[in-house]
């Protein structure tokens, strides 16, 4: 009985509420306000916040300097993020090598554009020995390129050599360190000369002086070191250990006449007591 009376009271209250004009006026007002807020947010606030329907085109900035690329991107109402890429010796430093998003993509204003630039440390390279092993000009160029170095000036050597079109000199010297992308100058042989020259006496001389004396006569030298199974070659730059050795015997007798560019074998020792006194007239 008590439950029935409560249900009847609730029903009477609800019926009275539904018949109340003030209730419907207030409900209608709240409904209209809610609809107005929905349309305001959907049509005005959200499009303004998300910039719906607005897009800008990402400019193509690859192969430009970073500063120039940055300015072009910012001019499109976009932001820039710099990324350091590995060093490439064939591209100028601080040049943009990649971008994300790609060029001509449509993006919203304010979007971040990532620019990868040619940065990093330039690697150091040991200069190879291109002399005295019969290396052709073409092979020397290939060796330099494989190490990330460039061939610089390539000129005929003023001192003849018996092996045409092979490398006779280089600058910098073998073993020096260069930054990747730097150049090495090369000199090559044009073959034996047509002139006849006289072999000087170099017995008893330090190897470096002996080589210099031979070159002055337009002659080449081959160092014979008994500690090694092979002879070292013709350039003063090709064997730094030879600087501490002396000529014990030479392959061509002094005053022998030979063609310019002929190689003279120099038999050496590191014991100065084992060599005769050098020619005092030199």
What local confidence, expressed as pLDDT, does residue 270 receive?
Answer: 86
What local confidence, expressed as pLDDT, does residue 209 receive?
Answer: 92
256/273 Cα distance (integer angstroms)? 27
What local confidence, expressed as pLDDT, does residue 12 receive?
Answer: 75
Q: What residues does each domain of the chain span?
A: 30-121, 124-188, 196-274
The pLDDT of residue 119 is above 70: yes
Strands (E), 101-163: 106-107, 112-118, 124-126, 150-156
What local confidence, expressed as pLDDT, does residue 50 receive?
Answer: 56
What local confidence, expressed as pLDDT, does residue 89 receive?
Answer: 76
What local confidence, expressed as pLDDT, does residue 29 receive?
Answer: 80
Domain 30-121 sits in CATH 3.40.50.720: no
pLDDT band at 277 (very low <50, low <70, confident <90, very high): confident
DSSP codes, 146-199: HTT-EEEEEEE-SS--SSTTBEEEEESPTT-EEETT-EEEEEE---S-SSEEEP
Domain 196-274 sits in CATH 3.30.10.20: yes
What local confidence, expressed as pLDDT, does residue 228 receive?
Answer: 62
SS3 content of the chain, % helix, strand, coil (to 5): 30, 25, 45
Lowest-confidence range among 46-55, 209-218, 231-240?
231-240
Q: Which residues pair with 99 in a beta bridge?
A: 115
Which residues contact residue 180 at a Cβ distance below 8 angstroms, ignoring those fewer than 6 apart? 87, 89, 122, 123, 124, 125, 147, 148, 149
For strand 96-100 and strand 112-118, is the pairing parallel, antiparallel, or unpaired? antiparallel
191/186 Cα distance (integer angstroms)? 16
CB half-sphere exposure, 228, CA atoms < 13 A: 13
What local confidence, expressed as pLDDT, does residue 237 receive?
Answer: 44
Supply the mean pLDDT for the chain.
83
Whether the upstream peptide bond of residue 125 has omega within 30° of 0, thus cis, is: no
* Residue 222 near residue 249, CB atoms below 8 Å: no
Give per-residue pLDDT as tens, 186-205: 999 888 878 889 999 999 99
Of 50-54, 147-151, 234-238, the range with the highest mean pLDDT is 147-151
43/247 Cα distance (integer angstroms)? 97
What local confidence, expressed as pLDDT, does residue 238 receive?
Answer: 45
What local confidence, expressed as pLDDT, does residue 35 receive?
Answer: 82
In words, the CATH class of domain 124-188 is alpha beta
**The domains spanning 124-188 and 196-274 adopt the same CATH topology:** yes
The pLDDT of residue 236 is above 50: no
The pLDDT of residue 175 is above 60: yes
Give per-residue pLDDT as tens, 16-64: 767 777 777 777 788 888 888 877 776 666 666 555 567 899 999 999 9
pLDDT band at 80 (very low <50, low <70, confident <90, very high): very high
């Amino acid at each position: 009985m008590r439950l029935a009376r409560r249900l009847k009271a609730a029903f009477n209250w609800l019926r009275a509420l539904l018949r109340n004009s003030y209730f419907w006026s207030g409900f209608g007002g709240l409904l209209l306000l809610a609809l107005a807020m929905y349309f305001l947010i959907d049509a005005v606030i959200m499009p303004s916040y998300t910039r719906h329907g607005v897009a800008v085109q990402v400019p193509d900035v690859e192969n430009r300097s970073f500063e120039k690329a940055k300015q072009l991107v910012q001019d499109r109402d976009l932001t820039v993020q710099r990324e350091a890429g590995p060093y490439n010796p064939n591209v100028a430093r601080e040049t943009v090598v990649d971008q994300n998003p790609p060029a001509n993509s449509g993006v919203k204003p304010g979007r971040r554009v990532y620019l990868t630039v040619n940065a990093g440390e330039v690697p150091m390279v040991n200069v190879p020995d291109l002399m005295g092993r019969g290396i052709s000009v073409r092979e020397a160029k290939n060796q330099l390129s494989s190490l990330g170095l460039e061939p610089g000036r390539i000129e005929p050597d003023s001192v003849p050599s018996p092996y045409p079109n092979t490398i006779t000199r280089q600058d910098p010297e073998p073993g020096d360190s260069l930054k990747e992308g730097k150049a090495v100058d090369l000199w090559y042989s044009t073959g034996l000369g047509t002139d006849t020259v006289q072999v000087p006496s170099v017995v008893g001389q330090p190897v470096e002086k002996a080589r210099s004396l031979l070159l002055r006569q337009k002659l080449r030298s081959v160092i014979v070191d008994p500690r090694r199974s092979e002879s070292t070659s013709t350039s003063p730059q090709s064997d730094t250990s030879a600087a501490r050795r002396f000529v014990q015997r030479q392959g061509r007798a002094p005053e022998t006449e030979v063609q310019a560019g002929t190689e003279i074998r120099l038999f050496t020792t590191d014991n100065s007591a084992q060599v005769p006194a050098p020619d005092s007239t030199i």
